[in-house]
Structure 1
């Protein structure tokens, strides 16, 4: 997952999903609105630093608290790269809660109808 614009202390930022681990909730290429420092609870989708490679950001669902931190899982059980592989994620590696996602617009579709269709299908909150 790539992160954009996090050098400032702004409470919100945009990140991009790479890979299939959160499918069907999130798709490769989705953009995420991340609320940094937000309170989180089990069941929510969050952005974290990977515990074994801390320069890599990951997006996972918070399954629950365990000794040593958060147990995180991808929504796609067939994809690797969650707590089943690396264990609990220490709380200091939890960066923020994902509030929403949008899919990038097709640059070739510029009509008002195409924009409306994109808005109705591509933008949604992550609950």
Structure 2
């Protein structure tokens, strides 16, 4: 994941997909354009930091509340064999770093 840049007033950056957890929608090595600070909605592909510090590309499924009352997101990979919130629990809303808006390489298309 790259450091945010500014395009006008919009902070953007890049992320590279690692592993097969988002197959078939995304493949290892796909480059994504990420908008930081964008509103997360169910179904969107996001870049998030799990509690152990791992940064991952996952799909936002459901907004939840943690036991402490903090907002969090349930994140899943498209491939059921991947590691996601089923294994690591919900991700604090503050740790959802950005929303992927497009795959820019190797097959450009909006997400």
- TM-score bracket relative to the smaller structure: 0.7 to 0.9
| 1:91 correspondence with 2:76 | no
Flag structure 1 segments of 5+ consecutive residues without an equivalent: 105-121
Match of 1:111 in 2: none
Q: Whose helix fraction is larger, Structure 1's or Structure 2's? A: 1
Where in structure 2 are the equivalents of 1:1-127 lying within 5 Å?
3-4=1-2, 6=3, 8=4, 10=6, 11-52=11-52, 54=53, 56-68=54-66, 69-79=72-82, 81-104=83-106, 122-126=107-111
For the 8 Å contact 2:5–2:13, the answer to whether it is kept is: no
Measured on the aligned residues, the alpha-carbon RMSD in Å equals 1.3
TM-score, length of structure 2 as denominator length: 0.86
Runs of 4 or more above 3 Å deviation? none
The alpha carbon displacement at 1:67 in A equals: 1.9
TM-score, length of structure 1 as denominator length: 0.75
SS in structure 2 opposite 1:72?
A: strand
* Count of aligned pairs: 102
Q: Whose strand fraction is larger, Structure 1's or Structure 2's? A: 2
Distance, in Å, in 2 between the alignment partners of 1:22 and 1:99 is 15
